[in-house]
Amino acid sequence: MKSDKAYKLLAKQEKISNRAAKELIDRGVVFSHGRKIVVARAEMPLTTKFKIIEIKKSKKIFEDEKVLAIDKPAFITSEEIAKKEGYPLLHRLDKETSGVLLLSKDEEFRKKAIEEFKKQNVLKEYIAWVEGVIAEPIEITAPIETIKSKNALYSKISSKGSEAYSYVEPLMIEGKFTKVKVTIKTGRTHQIRVHLKSINHPIVGDVKYGGREHKRIMLHAHKISLLGYEFISKEPKEFEKFF
């Protein structure tokens, strides 16, 4: 059977450049037969048909002279939001994580906010769909170590790691999946993803940390409170019910 690289086939199907096709695959929004295409150069049959998930636009939740709160959609990086808005980030969300993202418009406010993060005075609530049934709240305090390489970050539970705290509460159970609220005091790299994996309830779509394939990682930054501010991002429609 004749084949070609995935990004070239996508470019022909969508009548876009090879570069644009590769960028779509790298973002994680290209699927074929219900499975996400993760390698742009993968050889695929010439008859392959692709489906592209629409990337939603970011929206402003709140803005004043000190802070800008953005409702970040999935598949866009925090750095892209910062570049678009022209202000530095106060924290980051992973590319496929949606929800509240904060940027600083004032240097004095930025310094105060950073101190609040360090002192664990910032409340952060997330919503996630996980595998398995969680019937009771769970407190997770396992330390997390992050390993950095040229192209990627990977975190794991380790006695050599930094302090990390997550509190998991079940919100809804559907079949063998549970929607949970996760409140964190610390902000370690991939903290929620690693902590949920450590209790054998990985996030749906989080293949990197043991979850099954899905259209996206089902993690949403729902609420953040600091320095007298509180910002909320309503959960996306796909979070309301899993099935």
Q: What is the pLDDT of residue 107?
A: 96
Share of the chain above pLDDT 90, in %: 85
Average pLDDT estimate for 75-92: 96
Total domains, the chain: 2
Q: Read off the CATH number of the domain in which 33 is found.
A: 3.10.290.10
Cβ–Cβ contacts within 10 Å for residue 94, how many?
19
Domain of residue 235 covers 59-240
d(CA 218, CA 236): 10
pLDDT score recorded for residue 149: 79
CATH of the domain at 108: 3.30.2350.10
Mean pLDDT of 82-100: 96
pLDDT at 243 over 80: no
pLDDT at residue 239 in the model: 92
Q: What is the pLDDT of residues 7-66, one digit of tens each?
A: 899 999 999 999 999 999 999 999 998 889 988 999 998 989 999 988 999 999 999 999
Instruction: Please tell me the predicted confidence (pLDDT) of residue 4.
Output: 87
Q: Are residues 35 and 66 in the same domain?
A: no
At 241 the pLDDT is 80
In a shared domain, residues 102 and 203 = yes
Tell me the mean pLDDT in the region 209-238: 95
Average pLDDT of the chain is 94
Residue 104, pLDDT score? 97
Domain boundary among 52, 76, 93: 52
Which residue is it, tokens 């904060």? 102
Instruction: Read off the pLDDT band of 204 (50, 70, 90).
Output: very high
Q: Give the active site residue among 4, 26, 64, 94.
A: 94
What are the beta bridge partners of residue 182? 126, 168
Please check whether residues 143 and 111 belong to one and the same domain: yes
Q: Is position 94 annotated as part of the catalytic site? A: yes
Task: Answer whether 242's CB lies under 8 Å from 152's CB.
Answer: no
% of the chain at pLDDT higher than 70? 100
Q: How confident is the model at residue 67 (pLDDT cuts 50, 70, 90)?
A: very high
Domain boundary among 13, 30, 52: 52
Same domain, 21 and 122: no
pLDDT tens for 122-173 read 999 999 999 999 999 999 999 999 998 777 789 999 999 999 999 999 999 9
- Regarding whether 73 and 7 lie in a shared domain, the answer is no
Confidence label for 240 from pLDDT (cuts 50, 70 and 90):
confident
Average pLDDT of the residues in 91-105: 96
Is residue 43 located within the same domain as residue 66? Answer: no
- Asked if residue 185 has pLDDT above 90, the reply is no
Average pLDDT for 184-199: 95
Same domain, 32 and 123: no
Whole-angstrom distance, CA of residue 98 vs CA of residue 81: 12
